[in-house]
């Protein structure tokens, strides 16, 4: 059982998503796809409060799109990168939904979708998964004050400013209210193991996370999970991590090069933004998944997606204590179901 993916006990659909981005992300190639973009402060007097506001807005947008209110959601999974995940706690406190806090670093989006799918597949009917990151909260907490002007090596990534909220439902009538010719359905999930290859460079998160991503995909394939006809969308390996990821899998005889996309390489235009190895952060994969990938699924522009959210488990003190940086990566398989195959009397 441990090395097999889990399937929700009944069909679980991703019925809506809300995406709220900062200004840099708005300027990027996906800028027109975000539901809302702000000036990075979102009317608040601190960066942490701004990040909370993004989460609040993102979940509100997702609810509105699904024509639901908070009392109709049974469970809410959320987390972020800030110490004790406070942006999530404060940003979502106004929604009266049972709240389960997560910490998976940048893999939180996948972790929330994974747990949201497993619980909506059984005990709950509708669940929500929300996550965010903010460049300024991350820089302050993990690295240096912005005014310091610290130099970033080529392997460094840029923490995205953005929040994504996802609603999952086991009710076919919810699925039938979605737009588009296809409805995204989570068919399998594979939680990842922590993998530590001894990377200690805090400016090379891609290298820290790639082994975990490769490990999860490898375990999925070994369990019989199909990689054919699916595109693998990693969270934020960036340029450095993506190359390592592909190499590690190739060494096991798994060639994913032509079927791999990375959210960290999709968020910004490298021609106009100096973001070195790409975007990172919980918000990176959340924005790309919410605004772009799910849209492509709904419009029938892609087949199955294997979303592999990647996280680096570290904090500002760990490197001072000589610790390396473990990674973790969770896999969520999303399948486009033609709308006309969903029966309203199916399910619960």
Min. distance of Cβ 33 from a second copy in angstroms?
29
Min. distance of Cβ 332 from a second copy in angstroms?
13
Of the two residues 76 and 239, which places its CB atom closer to a second copy in the complex? 76
Min. distance of Cβ 323 from a second copy in angstroms?
7
Min. distance of Cβ 122 from a second copy in angstroms?
5
Min. distance of Cβ 184 from a second copy in angstroms?
20
- Measure the N-to-C terminal CA separation of the chain; round to a whole number of Å: 26
Min. distance of Cβ 326 from a second copy in angstroms?
5
Contact 176, 67 (CB under 8 A): no
Of the two residues 25 and 48, which places its CB atom closer to a second copy in the complex? 48
State the residues that interact with a second copy by CB under 8 A. Answer: 1-2, 6-9, 46, 48-49, 71-75, 79, 81-86, 89-90, 92-93, 96-105, 111, 114-115, 118-119, 121-125, 190-194, 196, 313-318, 321, 323, 326, 328, 330
**CA–CA distance, 324 with 339 (Å, rounded to integer):** 47
Min. distance of Cβ 250 from a second copy in angstroms?
23
Of the two residues 46 and 272, which places its CB atom closer to a second copy in the complex? 46
**CA–CA distance, 263 with 293 (Å, rounded to integer):** 10
Min. distance of Cβ 297 from a second copy in angstroms?
23
Q: Is 98 helix (H, G, I), strand (E, B) or coil?
A: coil
Q: Is 329 exposed, middle or buried (0-12, 13-18, 19+ CB in 10 A)?
A: buried
Q: Is 167 exposed, middle or buried (0-12, 13-18, 19+ CB in 10 A)?
A: buried
Of the two residues 27 and 49, which places its CB atom closer to a second copy in the complex? 49
Contact 12, 166 (CB under 8 A): no
Q: Is 118 exposed, middle or buried (0-12, 13-18, 19+ CB in 10 A)?
A: buried
Angle subtended at Cα 300 by Cα 299 and Cα 302, rounded to the nearest 5 degrees: 115
**CA–CA distance, 78 with 100 (Å, rounded to integer):** 7
What DSSP string describes 26-81? HTSTTGGGSSEE--SSTT-SSHHHHHHHHHHHHHHHHHHHHT--GGG--EEEEEES
Of the two residues 121 and 281, which places its CB atom closer to a second copy in the complex? 121
Of the two residues 61 and 124, which places its CB atom closer to a second copy in the complex? 124
Of the two residues 84 and 226, which places its CB atom closer to a second copy in the complex? 84
Of the two residues 82 and 291, which places its CB atom closer to a second copy in the complex? 82
């Amino acid at each position: 059982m441990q090395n097999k993916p889990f399937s929700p006990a009944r069909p679980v659909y991703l019925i809506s998503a809300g995406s709220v981005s900062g200004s840099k992300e708005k300027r990027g190639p996906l800028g027109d796809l975000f539901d809302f973009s702000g000036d990075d402060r979102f009317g608040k007097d601190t960066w942490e409060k701004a990040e909370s506001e993004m989460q609040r807005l993102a979940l509100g947008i997702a609810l509105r799109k699904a024509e639901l209110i908070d009392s109709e959601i049974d469970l809410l999974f959320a987390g972020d990168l800030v110490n004790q995940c406070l942006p999530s706690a404060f940003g979502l406190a106004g929604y009266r939904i049972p709240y389960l806090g997560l910490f998976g670093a940048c893999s939180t989006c996948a972790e929330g979708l994974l747990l949201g799918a497993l619980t909506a597949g059984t005990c709950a009917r509708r669940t929500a998964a929300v996550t965010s990151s903010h460049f300024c909260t991350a820089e302050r907490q993990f690295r240096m004050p912005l005014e310091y002007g610290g130099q970033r090596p080529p392997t460094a990534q840029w923490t995205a400013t953005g929040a994504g909220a996802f609603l999952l439902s086991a009710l076919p009538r919810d699925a039938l209210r979605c737009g588009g010719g296809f409805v995204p359905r989570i068919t399998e999930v594979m939680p990842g193991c922590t993998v530590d290859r001894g990377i200690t460079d805090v400016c090379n998160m891609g290298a820290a996370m790639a082994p975990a991503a490769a490990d999860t995909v490898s375990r999925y394939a070994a369990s019989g999970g199909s990689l054919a006809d699916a595109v693998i969308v990693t969270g934020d390996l960036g340029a450095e991590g993506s190359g390592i990821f592909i190499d590690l899998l190739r060494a096991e005889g798994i060639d994913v090069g032509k079927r791999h996309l990375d959210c960290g390489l999709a968020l910004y235009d490298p021609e106009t933004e100096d973001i070195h190895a790409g975007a990172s952060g919980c918000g990176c994969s959340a924005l790309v998944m919410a605004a772009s990938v799910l849209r492509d699924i709904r419009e029938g522009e892609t087949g199955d997606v294997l979303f592999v959210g990647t996280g680096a488990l570290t904090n500002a003190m760990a490197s001072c204590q000589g610790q390396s940086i473990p990674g973790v990566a969770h896999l969520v398989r999303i399948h486009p179901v033609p709308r006309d195959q969903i029966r309203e009397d199916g399910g619960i």
